[in-house]
Structure 1
């Protein structure tokens, strides 16, 4: 900065004002300093500036698995929301492992970030104390409710109910579920099955446990396996609700492989409205859970906490819409 000041014939303070975009600088002075910066190839020492300001300009994002389309697209949305606010995002994936999630919360990398947006799958309600961290935190998802942190989530129950109602409105009565998690009481699978059951009950359709097929990780292969189980068992069904789009896309694959007409014989709906849903064959009806709203809200809440906000912690539930496509066409 001293070299730039000497080249431009101004004070070091004037150079500082220019590089920090101080508004009250004469255009001629700004032009002279900028010319010296360009000639010398000067770059601001961001580490030193951030040290003075007490922030790094970097936030963390921890998600279970970037190979799952929803989390990949969520990460993209968070990065774009952060960039629009002058922030950089450090992304980590935990593999939905409880230990890896604990490691993320206590990692030395937290010294590099001003705060963390955290989407846990391995941690549960009994781990709430683990989230009492000494830095700004925004939690995504359904795993942990309450506590001294902001929480942004999607409307799983009502979204799943809408997906099921969409199928019922098209005359479907034997609606299978792909990807349930046995024994789960809190989490996306449990909440979406609750929404499914609520829609059945509201329409006087008996709940049949044989139609709820369990699956582990919500990958395409899991969705295909769920449908193969139904077909091989001879279970009668006229629709499939994949608890996420990857499961639903796997279900489409299995139905194609067994030459089952979609949607005439079996209609299919997913959840998450990932980009792939609009380009599958047939295109996939899906619940859009408000991904952009989730990303924008999470970044804004985190920025407020980084800035020292003492407002009460918030729980925000994003809006959802149903995107009807060919897989459930009349």
Structure 2
């Protein structure tokens, strides 16, 4: 197949080659109508900029990286989908990598896989420490996703996240509002990741505000945030004497919650009559589970948009920009696993 050229795009859009070049480079002073017409032609023809030629002209390749722990997790799969779409609108192509939660791999990918290839990286780290990323962010465009601690007010890179402490508190408060008093937490991990730490903090805060006591026996450790570990953790909880079992559970993500729901089914316990269940992520799997899963839903569109635009601004700026933390919205979607009312899936 013959490669599509700028000239081909210009002819399809009815504009000059220079106009197409300006749109692809996201240059200013191009009308929105012209930009839309050119981008439509780009999509229809499948035009892809030549990274080598582009780097020679501009010093940039037009390639950015997205590094996430696991592409098999629905949350990160959706994130990758949305980041790719947002990046395409700004003229970037995304290379996607999984780190599998390995600190060495996270640090390697944060540098741009040999920064000669990538213009910048969006990284969702699990294990690498913030102080290890600080020197990288000073020299290379980097945006972080997910929960990180900034207790001393030190922001080491641009960061996009939701308030996980508040989200966990709200989810737990919802369970308390249903009259549940023995609430378990599934997601306390062996390695004390920042995600686990902050969601546990929000869980404990809601209990304290309601005058309830945190019981470590109702927070079994998990190795990973996946369905098998949710299943095993809930089996531990259902094996407790009847009077000590939980009447509700807050799971730190939807995959843990779906595993927990399976264990409750195996134990002959009803959801939510015997045990109410809440997750985090708002995954499609939770929406279509039986019963449908009440979940904290991060605004994925906002997270992807903020991350890509923040990275693009850093890539294109000729001057150093101050690092910023950007909070994305979230909301609690109450479904059958706590509400108990059977209803059709809301599309």
TM value normalised by structure 1: 0.84
DSSP-derived class of the 1:112 partner? coil
Q: Distance in 2 between matches of 1:194 and 1:159?
A: 10
In the alignment, which residue of structure 2 is the partner of 1:278? 287
Query: How many pairs align?
Result: 302
2:182 aligned with 1:174: yes
Q: CA deviation at 1:311?
A: 3.5
In the alignment, which residue of structure 2 is the partner of 1:17? 18
Answer whether contact 1:149 1:313 (CA < 8 A) is retained: yes
In the alignment, which residue of structure 2 is the partner of 1:328? 338
Q: Distance in 1 between matches of 2:112 and 2:49?
A: 28
Q: Unaligned stretches of 5+ in structure 2?
A: 6-14, 24-29, 32-40, 341-347
Answer whether contact 2:134 2:156 (CA < 8 A) is retained: no
Answer whether contact 2:155 2:325 (CA < 8 A) is retained: no
Answer whether contact 2:238 2:264 (CA < 8 A) is retained: no
**Superposed, which structure 2 residues align to 1:177-216 within 5 Å?**
177-182=185-190, 184=192, 187-216=194-223
DSSP-derived class of the 1:116 partner? strand
**Superposed, which structure 2 residues align to 1:1-330 within 5 Å?**
16-17=17-18, 20=21, 45=50, 47-106=52-111, 108-129=113-134, 131-132=136-137, 134-143=139-148, 145=150, 146-182=154-190, 184=192, 187-234=194-241, 235-308=244-317, 310-330=320-340
Taking a change above 3 Å as real, the CA distance of residues 85 and 106 of structure 1, as seen in their structure-2 partners, is closer
TM value normalised by structure 2: 0.80
Q: CA deviation at 1:260?
A: 0.8
Q: Distance in 1 between matches of 2:174 and 2:334?
A: 9
Taking a change above 3 Å as real, the CA distance of residues 128 and 113 of structure 1, as seen in their structure-2 partners, is closer
Q: Distance in 1 between matches of 2:50 and 2:105?
A: 33
Instruction: Indicate the structure (1 or 2) with the bigger Cα radius of gyration.
Output: 1
Q: Distance in 2 between matches of 1:80 and 1:58?
A: 13
Q: CA deviation at 1:207?
A: 1.4
Q: Distance in 2 between matches of 1:82 and 1:143?
A: 24
Answer whether contact 1:124 1:144 (CA < 8 A) is retained: no
State which drifts further: 320-329 or 63-72: 63-72
Q: Distance in 2 between matches of 1:21 and 1:285?
A: 46
In the alignment, which residue of structure 1 is the partner of 2:27? none
State which drifts further: 230-239 or 207-216: 230-239
Output one character per residue of 1:223-258: Cα deviation in whole Å (capped at 9) or x when no partner.
000000011233411011110000001011111122
DSSP-derived class of the 2:115 partner? helix
DSSP-derived class of the 2:159 partner? strand
Q: Distance in 2 between matches of 1:206 and 1:108?
A: 47
State which drifts further: 305-314 or 199-208: 305-314
DSSP-derived class of the 2:239 partner? helix
Q: Distance in 1 between matches of 2:70 and 2:115?
A: 20
Taking a change above 3 Å as real, the CA distance of residues 183 and 92 of structure 1, as seen in their structure-2 partners, is closer
Q: Distance in 1 between matches of 2:271 and 2:293?
A: 10
Output one character per residue of 1:192-245: Cα deviation in whole Å (capped at 9) or x when no partner.
011111111111112111111110110100000000001123341101111000
Q: CA deviation at 1:135?
A: 1.8
DSSP-derived class of the 1:110 partner? coil
